Structure 1
Amino acid sequence: MVDRPNKPQALATTPGLPPQAQVNITHDNSRVSAVLPSGECIEVLLHGATVTSWKDRAGNERLWLSEAAKLDGSKAVRGGIPLVFPVFGTAPDHEPTSKLPQHGFARNSRWDFLGKSTTESSGQTDASVKLDFGLSTATIDDEAKKLWPFSFSLIYSVTLTPDALRTGIVITNDGDQPFEFQTLLHTYFRIGDITKVKISGLEESAYIDKVDGAKEKQQTGDVTIAGEVDRVYHPASPETPVVVSESGEAKFSIVRDNLGDVVVWNPWVEKAQGMGDFEPKDGYRNMICVEAGAVKAWTKLEAGDAYEGGQIISV
């Protein structure tokens, strides 16, 4: 092929075309990254379809990721946004999921990248990009099929805009038998100082305190963190945004769609010390998990039916 000195530029850089997001598959086809014209960017690991990074246009990271997180597919990622399905925690008393590992198999499975869709703009402030990922009975490993022998398909969508991140899941029962499931978006937010954090939007909500023997309690006022916290809230006002503030300034606002529960988690000192993939050990000071999900009860999906849920995180 002759290398012409005046060969034309690629279409994406042709003057006059509107700005659009750039999407790349990197790290030996293990990660998908996207950058908006305004500079915001995300990275998604195909192992678990885990969002591992979400940065603003100045390069500031919004998600917490452990320095010891395994990104080679050998185990679930500690940090970012792991996806929980079809069981939250473990459920030894729920026969269909009793043999599954902690938080199910979705976060430990290799997902397919189904493609992108972008919104072009005349400027840099209204462009967006949506990345779609898929997992199904046909693509999970044999061990997972053995432990959970139902026919299903999942489509997980991650949408980046200049001021928000949207994550949503569609779960379809492809078989001829109903099944029950739980699902959760296990979001690790990066913050500056956990002692200065307050979480609003859960006032007067009932919750299960897993640190105190799974006792049922009632929230009064804002949630503050002064020790290990592991709570499953069922918000009294499900339409009210859950807001994470630090030093009186709102940092994140989470609006849920068909995800009725909110888990709040911070391991604090002793639990962080005991987790091999949690680094640095004082990293609990710089993270808070606020997780939208459907986990307090089981969601039953009849043959051929589909379930859809998601969240919008605004900054």
Structure 2
Amino acid sequence: MEHSAAVWDYKTAVEMTKDWNGIDHVVLRSPQGASLRVSMHGGQVTSWRNEQGEELLFTSSKAIFKPPKAVRGGIPVCFPQFGNCGLLEQHGFARNKIWTVDDNPPPLPLTDSQGKSFIDLLLKPIEEDVKGWPHSFELRLRVCLAINGDPSLISRVRNINGKPFSFSFAYHTYLSVSDISEVRIEGLETLDYLDNLCQRERFTEQGDAITFESEVDRIYLSSPNVIAVLDHERKRTFVIRKEGLPDVVVWNPWEKKSRAMVDFGDEEYKQMVCVNGALIEKPITLKPGEEWTGRLDLSVVRSTFCSDHLDFQTRGL
């Protein structure tokens, strides 16, 4: 169903493929066997597998893999807005567009490519985009897979317009979990959040961790750069590290909303949670020629139910 041509270097592999809709994909592999799959549809990471071949990201069994519908799962790139406001579609247009490989990206620090497999992608506005958001920009995305199997995403937005513009941004990260009732998120305690289930009313987190018993849709503000998502049943902790993304969105649709979504299984809310590095409360404004950078790094460590023993400093996170 796919055809491919592999291109190898001395440590890593970058494989170009097409899916059943003829949409280009890139598969990045580590020497130990971990992999990332990136679709040109949305510049979206659609799969992250560890060395044992286990899928670490959630994608709905009912996801639609054909533009202009966004893919339900993986890591959609939300730009130039997150949410549903104005003339743009929900979460902006970037996740619905066909991106291209960036053959001539501006340089990034050597550490963002050395010893890693990576791909540089580019999105520029088309006439349809300008009608709803009349600005000229370049959105670049570097997707990396480190030797140890950890992915990183680095986005850069440049204003090539004649006037300033403002935008919001999010990496809408769908994590695969054993059972949402066995999941807790640590690192967001005592923070203020905007509750999307209450017209974005502002509250303060009272719990020592976030757990799930019903629908959750919150934007945590001015968050730390390291967040832990603990999966008790699998004794696995996702560690999310971010830069340039001060907010964190936590979302699980629960039963009622799951049944209302055509591209989401009725019971699939039990196997996923979205924890998004985001820039929402205070949108970025870029003057002509200015550039913004946002970064997301993911890793997985073995854990017990409590992450008190997780020392992010000694782990180099």
With normalisation by structure 2, the TM-score equals: 0.84
Decide which of 86, 91, 100 is 2:88's aligned counterpart. Answer: 100
1:130 corresponds in structure 2 to 118
Q: Distance in 2 between matches of 1:116 and 1:66?
A: 34
1:112 corresponds in structure 2 to 100
Distance change in 2, residues 1:265/1:11 (3 Å): closer
Q: Distance in 2 between matches of 1:200 and 1:231?
A: 15
Distance change in 2, residues 1:25/1:215 (3 Å): same
1:160 corresponds in structure 2 to 145
Q: 1:235: Cα distance to partner?
A: 3.7
Q: 1:107 aligns to what SS in structure 2?
A: helix
Q: What is the identity, as a one-letter code, of the residue corresponding to 2:98?
A: R
Q: 2:57 aligns to what SS in structure 1?
A: coil
Distance change in 2, residues 1:51/1:250 (3 Å): same
> RMSD between aligned alpha carbons?
2.1
Stretches of structure 1 that go unaligned for 5 or more consecutive residues are: 1-9, 92-97, 118-125
Verify: 1:287 aligned to 2:272, yes or no. yes
2:15 corresponds in structure 1 to 23
Decide which of 50, 60, 71 is 1:56's aligned counterpart. Answer: 50
Q: Distance in 1 between matches of 2:190 and 2:7?
A: 55
1:187 corresponds in structure 2 to 173
Q: Distance in 1 between matches of 2:14 and 2:117?
A: 9
Stretches of structure 2 that go unaligned for 5 or more consecutive residues are: 1-5, 106-113, 301-317
Q: Is the 8 A contact 1:22 1:36 kept in 2?
A: no
Q: Is the 8 A contact 1:88 1:184 kept in 2?
A: yes
Q: What is the identity, as a one-letter code, of the residue corresponding to 2:87?
A: K
Matching of residues 1-315 of structure 1 within 5 Å:
18-27=10-19, 28-91=22-85, 98-114=86-102, 127-137=115-125, 140=126, 142-161=127-146, 162-220=148-206, 221-236=208-223, 238-239=224-225, 241-247=226-232, 249-279=235-265, 281-315=266-300
Q: Distance in 2 between matches of 1:155 and 1:19?
A: 25
Answer with 1 or 2: which has the greater Rg. 1
Q: 1:68: Cα distance to partner?
A: 1.1
Q: What is the identity, as a one-letter code, of the residue corresponding to 1:74?
A: P
Q: 1:29: Cα distance to partner?
A: 4.8
Map Cα deviations across residues 8-49 of structure 1 (whole Å, 9 max, x no partner). Answer: xx995xxxx843224223233521112222111111111101
Map Cα deviations across residues 187-229 of structure 1 (whole Å, 9 max, x no partner). Answer: 0000001001000000111001111332211112100011000
- Across the two proteins, how many residue pairs are aligned to each other? 282
Q: What is the identity, as a one-letter code, of the residue corresponding to 2:44?
A: T
1:122 corresponds in structure 2 to none
Q: 1:181 aligns to what SS in structure 2?
A: strand
Q: Distance in 2 between matches of 1:227 and 1:135?
A: 37
Q: What is the identity, as a one-letter code, of the residue corresponding to 2:218?
A: R
Q: What is the identity, as a one-letter code, of the residue corresponding to 1:204?
A: T
Map Cα deviations across residues 138-192 of structure 1 (whole Å, 9 max, x no partner). Answer: xx3x221211111100101111122411011000000110000000000000000
Q: Is the 8 A contact 2:169 2:280 kept in 1?
A: yes
Q: Is the 8 A contact 2:82 2:91 kept in 1?
A: yes
Distance change in 2, residues 1:285/1:253 (3 Å): same
Q: Distance in 2 between matches of 1:202 and 1:250?
A: 19
Distance change in 2, residues 1:22/1:11 (3 Å): closer
